[in-house]
Amino acid sequence: MIKAEISFDLIMEEDMGFVEGTYRLPASDWQVFIFSSCPIERPEVDINAKWSSGITGVHVGFPKAQKLNKAVVLRVLSDALGVTEWQEVKGPDSMKLR
């Protein structure tokens, strides 16, 4: 069982075009996640994304035709990172990290 922390930078709605935030796996530093709607058919997940600051994390291209919301973000990140339980906390702002 892997428990991790997650923080959303935006107020989550039922259908978002873009989602950004941070997460922290056990015994790790905060990392960034970004989901952006794209004209694709299925999610494209890069768990080795790296931003210019050197911060790493997850970038997900998400199909425009599908709803993007908090439940979807948690499910996709859980599948990609092997997390079984998320605790929503107030973490660092992802834009400041990257």
Strand ordering across the sheet containing 85-88: 44-50, 56-63, 31-38, 18-24, 3-8, 85-88
pTM, two decimal places: 0.94
Query: What is the pLDDT at residue 47?
Result: 97
In the structure encoding, which two tokens stand for residue 47, read together? 């768990």
Please list, residue by residue across 58-84, b when 16 or more beta carbons sit within 10 angstroms of its beta carbon and e when fewer do: bbbbbeeeeebebebbbebbeeebebe
- pLDDT digits over 60-91, tens only? 999 999 999 999 999 999 999 999 999 999 99
